[in-house]
Copies of this chain bind each other. A is one copy, B any other.
């Protein structure tokens, strides 16, 4: 069999395949798509990839991704500095900002405690959170622990709450219950029992 695929094509297929959720078929479809289109398309994508790590840094206060340090949220004087919302990933900050309901600060852990993946608390920005709360100019009243509502997220939340045990600080967790627009009939029993125990007066 001849080597009928040029090396640069094979290389790009390989590189696409290394991305999560992209198999060899999708990788080769993307590569041939770019090959059919003008070089500009591929070059714009290449440029965007090049600038990703060049121009994006982590805020040294909240560890969210940003183009400046401190990030726009941490340097915004209209934000409530007495509340910190702790999330696992930068994408979670985005999700909460979209609600337009939260006006405090954030703290991005960059992961969750996961013994299976060998990720302990020291891999996360938890020590930095404790340090940040202790040295904050404005007293921190509340920490909203907004880790994901799953096993690892709960374990991480528990660990964080232990770091602040015995202090004046209020620690809260996002409400668990039925998703808006969801159907009671299809809710799993854990979500439903959480919704029951967390019921509120009408």
Contact = CB atoms under 8 A, between A and B. Distances in A.
Please report whether the interface of chain A is mostly helix, strand, loop or mixed according to DSSP: helix
A163 B97 CA distance: 62
Copies in the complex: 2
A187 interface: no
A35 B4 CA distance: 34
B8 A48 contact: yes
Nearest to A10: B48
Contact of A94 (B4, B21, B39, B93): B4
A55 B16 contact: no
Chain A, interface size category, equals: 35 or more
Interface stretch (A65-73, A114-122, A129-137, A192-200): A65-73
Interface string A181-202: 0000000000000000000000
A162 to B, nearest CB: 26
Contacts of A54: 8, 39
A76 B42 contact: no
Interface in A1-55: 1-9, 11-12, 14-16, 18-22, 26, 28-36, 38-39, 41-55
A36 B19 CA distance: 12
Contacts of A73: 2, 4
B33 A65 contact: no
A64 interface: yes
7 contacts: A1-B98, A4-B64, A4-B71, A15-B45, A20-B30, A22-B30, A39-B52
